[in-house]
A and B are shown apart, each in its own frame.
Chain A
């Protein structure tokens, strides 16, 4: 099993957001996590990637057989955990090239491999850019600076392609995307998908799941999964909305 989350409780500033979350993900699987706003979907992504300020008060995140609760974000990343951010950060002054080369070499360093040669690296950049149809020159552009909403999301998938993660979490990747950009992003994900990696797709809407077809759909509410099923569950949610979930599991 690639990821096994057991009875996870996560608090921010003492307020519990995840309240006994369980999830099991195997290689080769795509899991969709859906649910109304404010239910803890992004908190889950933050907890898996080790973001500061998200305190695990109970439970375990087991990744590749190891409890990673205390691992730093960079260690998790170098072990293959990738997050496509809901709101990618603009970093003026850090060029995309410098950023990606530093990241790739950090991973190689972590794995005890030699640094990547400049020529090899640039070739790889060009190749992966095509995958998400990025035509612009990235060399002199700062990370996400001045990128449109769609470009930012494409850039996330581009980085994913560069870093070749084992577990990728897509946090609301569809938000703010028009249908064309959505298709490009989905195509990128589908190309990268293999029997050796897994995806967790966090989304509010069913739309993205027409293009990235999940093996499992989980409905999250009030900090835990309340219902799981196949891809049909997503359609059901699309049709009926989340009101029935709220009704069944009670508004606070």
Chain B
């Protein structure tokens, strides 16, 4: 017998909205997409928004966020100015093609909302692509996203309208990285954005996915990204998260990896009220290789949750996970690393490590590995540490004349460097190193980079991790 669920205000709003909007668009009357959406809605009706009961939600309590009445009704924003005029990106001097999503919808002049480039690359609005390239949606849309066990994934699947669509044809090496800047500039929105990225055989692509705030308004961002990586293709994915304390960011990414494909993910969480990253990586083809790294620097009452699921479904695949974090004040962190090795997935190499520095006695991390291994010829390892700064090293530096504050900063930065050193694009690495330094010194702010000249400066936000406390 299932006990009666209490329905939160947000869930009520989402249900009402979904009943009206799930399959309203005329373009979706046929094909499998409407079915997927319908099914997702039914699952959402049944399961609702995730509470703390399931193991993977045990340490992340969303209930306060569900009490707020966020508005899921959003529409495309009329293009009036370049995104650079709204927001000056931190990653400067970094040569990339920028696309943007504003308030949940693809933001560009009408003529550029879906482009097909000379080399066959398609990039633009997901809503537009759904109409213009239905064949990709028939084949890939909703193919990997797991709606049965996560209400947030289900509601996203049911009601998401727009986001970014990227298609890289076979054998195309995209030299210039694409940077997605996702912004919110309206109060109280619940954004259900959806991205679909397809990499053809032997292709190569670098993608930056940046979530930023440009004011201190509250919002609930529920993003879902499905990524298909074809045979022998390479994807380099960076996620940069620097959002305000009033925002919850749910970032669910699903990857299907075919034979000999390579995936590198770096999730860099600098700031945010609540951030939950779920990475679901399916190693479906022999020889696939996934490197998943994360760095989180949180303070105050911020909450960071990284859930990494690596499914070794085929033999001879490699995966490694390295997540590191520094938590100050009452910040809370969660790391759950799941490794699944199927019975046939012999010769699997799967490694996992999570290291944390807690700067106060009230900061907290829950870290847990989950290994489920059905093959017998595998190498798997996992490890987690929670500690303070290394006093031996601190004394060593001070004995050479380096004052306490500087010595500690050097060690914190070194702790983070193990992640940032993985960034192979030099200008990006320099920029991110700089952001890490600023964040640790308490100098990084969302306001620095906002050119809107905030009209509500009455709520100054301090971003300092207070180093004096260890």
A interface, CB within 8 angstroms of B: 49, 51-52, 72-74, 77-78, 82-83, 85, 88-89, 91-94, 98-99, 102-103, 106-107, 110, 142-143, 159, 163
Q: Could you pull out 5 A-B pairs where Cβ atoms are within 8 angstroms? A: A51-B395, A77-B400, A91-B396, A92-B418, A94-B414
CB-CB under 8 A from B414, the residues of chain A are: 91-94, 142
B interface, CB within 8 angstroms of A: 390-393, 395-404, 406-407, 410-411, 413-418, 421
CB-CB under 8 A from A159, the residues of chain B are: 400
- Once bound together, how far apart are the Cα atoms of A122 and B411, in whole Å? 23
Please tell me if the beta carbons of B413 and A110 are within 8 angstroms of each other in the complex.
no
CB-CB under 8 A from B397, the residues of chain A are: 91, 94, 99, 102-103
- Once bound together, how far apart are the Cα atoms of A112 and B160, in whole Å? 61
- Once bound together, how far apart are the Cα atoms of A174 and B6, in whole Å? 71
CB-CB under 8 A from A143, the residues of chain B are: 396
- With A72-B398, A77-B400 given, name 13 new contacts (CB 8 A): A72-B403, A72-B404, A73-B395, A73-B398, A73-B399, A74-B401, A74-B403, A78-B401, A85-B396, A89-B390, A103-B401, A106-B406, A159-B400
Please tell me if the beta carbons of B398 and A74 are within 8 angstroms of each other in the complex.
yes
Please tell me if the beta carbons of A77 and B395 are within 8 angstroms of each other in the complex.
no
Q: Give the interface centre of A51, A93, A163 by most chain B CB atoms within 10 Å.
A: A93
Please tell me if the beta carbons of A106 and B402 are within 8 angstroms of each other in the complex.
yes
Please tell me if the beta carbons of A77 and B399 are within 8 angstroms of each other in the complex.
yes
- Quick one: given A52-B391, A89-B392, are A94 and B399 in contact (CB under 8 Å)? no
CB-CB under 8 A from B399, the residues of chain A are: 49, 73-74, 77, 82-83, 85
Q: Which residue of chain A lies nearest to B405 when distances are taken between CB atoms in the complex? A: A74
CB-CB under 8 A from B417, the residues of chain A are: 93
Q: Give the interface centre of B399, B402, B415, B417 by most chain A CB atoms within 10 Å.
A: B399
Please tell me if the beta carbons of A91 and B400 are within 8 angstroms of each other in the complex.
no
- Quick one: given A77-B398, A92-B418, are A106 and B403 in contact (CB under 8 Å)? yes
Please tell me if the beta carbons of A102 and B398 are within 8 angstroms of each other in the complex.
no
CB-CB under 8 A from A107, the residues of chain B are: 401
Q: Which residue of chain A lies nearest to B416 when distances are taken between CB atoms in the complex? A: A93
Please tell me if the beta carbons of A93 and B404 are within 8 angstroms of each other in the complex.
no
- Once bound together, how far apart are the Cα atoms of A51 and B402, in whole Å? 14
Cβ distance B127 to chain A, nearest Cβ, rounded Å: 44
CB-CB under 8 A from B402, the residues of chain A are: 74, 102-103, 106
CB-CB under 8 A from B406, the residues of chain A are: 102, 106
Please tell me if the beta carbons of B400 and A163 are within 8 angstroms of each other in the complex.
yes
- Quick one: given A94-B411, A94-B414, A102-B406, are A89 and B396 in contact (CB under 8 Å)? yes
CB-CB under 8 A from A94, the residues of chain B are: 397, 410-411, 414
Please tell me if the beta carbons of A91 and B401 are within 8 angstroms of each other in the complex.
no
Q: Give the interface centre of A72, A73, A142 by most chain B CB atoms within 10 Å.
A: A73
CB-CB under 8 A from B400, the residues of chain A are: 77, 99, 103, 106, 159, 163
- Once bound together, how far apart are the Cα atoms of A83 and B395, in whole Å? 11
Cβ distance B436 to chain A, nearest Cβ, rounded Å: 11
- Once bound together, how far apart are the Cα atoms of A98 and B406, in whole Å? 12
Q: Which residue of chain B lies nearest to A53 when distances are taken between CB atoms in the complex? A: B391
- Once bound together, how far apart are the Cα atoms of A93 and B411, in whole Å? 8
- Once bound together, how far apart are the Cα atoms of A88 and B407, in whole Å? 16
Q: Which residue of chain B lies nearest to A85 when distances are taken between CB atoms in the complex? A: B396
Q: Which residue of chain B lies nearest to A90 when distances are taken between CB atoms in the complex? A: B393
Please tell me if the beta carbons of A52 and B395 are within 8 angstroms of each other in the complex.
yes
CB-CB under 8 A from A142, the residues of chain B are: 414
Please tell me if the beta carbons of A110 and B401 are within 8 angstroms of each other in the complex.
yes
Q: Which residue of chain A lies nearest to B419 when distances are taken between CB atoms in the complex? A: A93
- Quick one: given A93-B414, A93-B415, A93-B418, are A74 and B393 in contact (CB under 8 Å)? no
Q: Give the interface centre of A51, A74, A99, A110 by most chain B CB atoms within 10 Å.
A: A74
Q: Which of B395, B401, B413, B421 contacts A106 (CB 8 A)?
A: B401
- Once bound together, how far apart are the Cα atoms of A72 and B402, in whole Å? 11
- Once bound together, how far apart are the Cα atoms of A34 and B404, in whole Å? 32
The 3 closest A-B pairs by CB, nearest first: A93-B414, A77-B401, A103-B400
